[in-house]
Chains A and B, each alone.
Chain A
Amino acid sequence: MIEERFRRLRSRAPFWSLRLHDEKRELLAVRNDTVEPPRRSVDRGAMLTAIVEGGYGYCATSDLSVAGLQAALDRAGAWAEATRGRSVAAFDPASMPAPRGEYHSLSSKGPLAGKAEIHDLLLSECRSAKVGTRIVERVAMLELVEDERVYLTNTGGAVRQRFRFTLPRARVTANEGVQTQSRSFEHFHQGGLERVTDSGFVGSGARLARDALALLAARNCPKGTMDVLLMPDQMMLQIHESIGHPLELDRILGDERNYAGRSFVTPQMFGSYRYGSELLDVTYDPLPGELATFGFDDEGLASSKVFLIREGILETPLGGLLSQRRAGLRGTANSRATAWNRPPIDRMANLNIEPGTSSLEEMIASVRLGVLMRTNVSWSIDDSRNKFQFGCEWGELIEDGRVAGVVKNPNYRGVSATFWRSLRMVGNRDTFEVHGTLYCGKGEPNQIVPCGHASPACLFSGVEVFGGE
């Protein structure tokens, strides 16, 4: 239907496009054994974009009638004319791709479970976390998302992509006096309800409660320079903040300097700069089922696996077609928009670390003094994506090659430009896990997009570690 309406639109711009998003969400949650009001939402609209020689404009509308779309296209065309000759990028309508193709999330074919069945599962997890008076909050939730995106161009491009996300979450909090500790579970992937059973969500309530109580009883994380063994659900954040953002081309080109920031990486570094130890292999990889896998980005560039860092040497930035042309560098398909109401910008999609050869046991055995850390709880990094400080929910002290007990409030800090060079061991495929975050914020106007991050456990040496107050 949208294709038919699109065919009736007219513009004097040599290139124009329509990007339709039709997203349905349903959130089911149980908190402290009480069923929260279920929430459903529909978000549907289109962005019309016009490009003239040296000018670009967009207009987003939820009015999908032909008249509504035409009005938006006219407005986009007026913006393109108003910015002609005043743009930082040399917009070229002739160079815009006209992609054709489809993408569908992998998903089970079975019918969705009924809401009563889902609520029963959430209630069960919530109740099983009630293991004493020190447990002060228990939350279990499941979010179901179906998102259809259509991209059409006046030059014959036509892409239709259908995504399904099933997002289970749980969190348990324990308190004693002025000490509060939480443990959380998140499993953010594409797919259907099979994700709930595959993910380890079943049984998470009791497990998180045990962990939260163990943290309450634990000693504070020690302070000093030592090894850090980061498990995949913390590697996710480490990759995201100190590799993903610094490699985004729009940051390198300066677009983000007023908000999300710049990058310590410069265009000259690609091809020669030693980003990490020779054990570090980083890829942009549209793995099946990973959170930000797609067939085409939001400006129609087809996605494929690309090495960004190989054996520690920086190779390729994260940038869509326009940024690639502006910088004169190769990039990846990651020009992405949060929804129909925001224009695409460079956003990391799936950013993964390739597995190495070490088992978890070998890595632990190699540590004289260090801390194993799981599950990010705190993240802060400077606007060049260099000086960082991260904290985790869970720590385990490692002494003389053995795990020596749980520690609470584990934090570490470092500098991206040197931290990755201290990568000493990379876990094998047995330690490899696929994770993702729903909340990567960036851009003006602001946008939040999901990103996938898969990684093995990784061991770093000589890291500044510390605990809480």
Chain B
Amino acid sequence: MKDRFFEAAQRLFGRLKAGELLLCGLSGERSDFVRFNRGKVRQAGSVEQGCVSVRLVRERRQAVATVVFSEELERDADGALADLRASLDGLPEDPWLLVNETPHSGESVRRGRLAAPEAIVEQAVGAAAGLDFVGIYAGGTLCRGFASSLGQRNWHEVDSFHFDWSLYLEADKAVKSSYAGFDWEDRAFEAKLGQAASQLAFLSEGQRTVVPGEYRAYLAPAAMEELMGMMSWGGFSARARATRQSPLLRMQEGAHLSPALTLVEDTAGGVGPAFQGDGFPKPDKVVLVDRGRLGDALVSPRSAREYGLANNAANAGEAPEALAMAGGDLDEQQALAALGDGLYIGNLWYLNYSDRPAGRITGMTRFATFLVENGRIAAPVAPARFDDSIYRMLGDNLAGLTRSRDLLLSTSTYGERSTDSMRLPGALLSRLRFTL
């Protein structure tokens, strides 16, 4: 895709008139997907797709079009350019337009060693024999590109895969696991699957029900991923802060979280591109929460202009794409002992704000969640609803963070495979409020 994209962009640049500036972006993939249920294949297939965005700027006016990366790319791009010109004629000046006028080109290519897709079918069906195995393999090549008529060229390409699955014992008793990376290894997959299967034994005990109330709790990194995903919905956005819609609004007014909590947008440690959609290079790190105090916001070029802030090259949604939480001093192997009596929560599910300005979040436990007594797993617990605020969960009630952190590659495939990631520790909470 790379050569074709840059050639198509260059072709468009050659058609520009005096005073016009053009920015082109590409998001593409060649991916294989194999979906499983009950240890067999539900749907298997391949997707080859790309979309090319074209942003035309003239006399401080701008309009955007997206066309398909297809055999008719050049024709469609020409049509888009003509449409954009016509659009600009009727538009007022855009006061929040900010264009990167300092070209900063770069290229990042990470080749991986992916399994042949048909081999995934054979291996997974074989390895899952006798197990109620359900999930998805998604793997292939992802690419992001940018080109501007000012001469900038950026390219990001990575071969990667994620295999995300659950093993069910019965009804809602299940263990969730995954194998993700850049180089597929049969033995690593089978080891992960075997490890998950061995955990099913913990689910065989009679299931307990959580009575509403407050419980000491340990949130595994995958559960923290859900919590951080919810906080990322407006929590670090400059626009949300300026319009008083951030769930961290109370932090803007002086409230704080635990001094053990530091959150960073760690682009350098992530797996996504180092440039954003308008071609601005991203800084390696942006400190979002610094030892419990509100840090910098993620500032898109548009917000930078509108609110007079320093642009830190956030994408338009101003949400983290490589969120990292600093680890603490809790040994992960000692997490159950540190928990003592309480709930070990492997995964959370379907979170939402029950009072957004107050930072209050509700959600469910899911998959491997256990009652722990005297530092030992006593019984699995039925899905339970919590409803508690960020300020309690990650403030006064944050009793510790694990030293080790997990790199969690996003399994999102809405529209296309995601390049987002998080690097998170587990968290020990002295109290977590359950309601249903």
Contact = CB atoms under 8 A, between A and B. Distances in A.
A86 B134 contact: no
B206 interface: no
Interface in A423-467: 441, 444-448
B357 A178 contact: yes
A466 to B, nearest CB: 8
A224 interface: no
A43 B349 contact: no
B354 interface: yes
Interface residues of A, number: 81
Nearest to A340: B49
A82 B44 contact: yes
A71 to B, nearest CB: 9
Interface in B155-169: 164-166, 168
Interface string A281-315: 00000000000000000000000000000000000
Given A37-B94, A446-B413, A469-B389, A44 B70 contact: yes
A384 interface: yes
Interface string A25-40: 0000000001101111
Given A86-B121, A175-B244, A180-B357, A446 B135 contact: no
Interface string B375-394: 00000000101010100000
B404 interface: no
Nearest to A37: B62
Contact of A378 (B40, B353, B435): B353
A383 B366 contact: yes
Given A136-B243, A468-B360, A58 B68 contact: no
A220 B176 CA distance: 39
Interface string B82-114: 010001001110111000000000000000000
Contacts of A444: 33, 35, 135-136, 164, 413
Given A35-B94, A38-B91, A469-B389, A62 B68 contact: yes
Nearest to A44: B68
A258 B45 contact: no
Given A45-B68, A178-B250, A180-B244, A380 B37 contact: no
A387 B387 CA distance: 13
B46 A79 contact: yes
Contacts of A145: none
Contacts of B92: 35
Contact of B42 (A37, A45, A79, A87): A87
A173 B353 contact: no
Interface of B: 33, 35-38, 40-51, 55, 62-72, 76, 80, 83, 87, 90-92, 94-96, 117-118, 121-122, 125, 132, 134-136, 138, 164-166, 168, 171-172, 174, 176, 243-245, 249-250, 253, 349-358, 360, 362-364, 366, 383, 385, 387, 389, 412-415, 417, 435-436
22 contacts: A34-B94, A34-B95, A39-B64, A42-B67, A42-B68, A42-B80, A45-B49, A57-B45, A59-B48, A64-B72, A82-B121, A87-B41, A88-B37, A180-B244, A180-B249, A255-B42, A257-B134, A257-B166, A378-B356, A381-B364, A382-B349, A413-B385
**10 pairs of A and B residues whose beta carbons are closest in the complex:** A58-B45, A469-B358, A445-B413, A468-B355, A175-B244, A41-B66, A444-B136, A88-B40, A62-B70, A137-B243
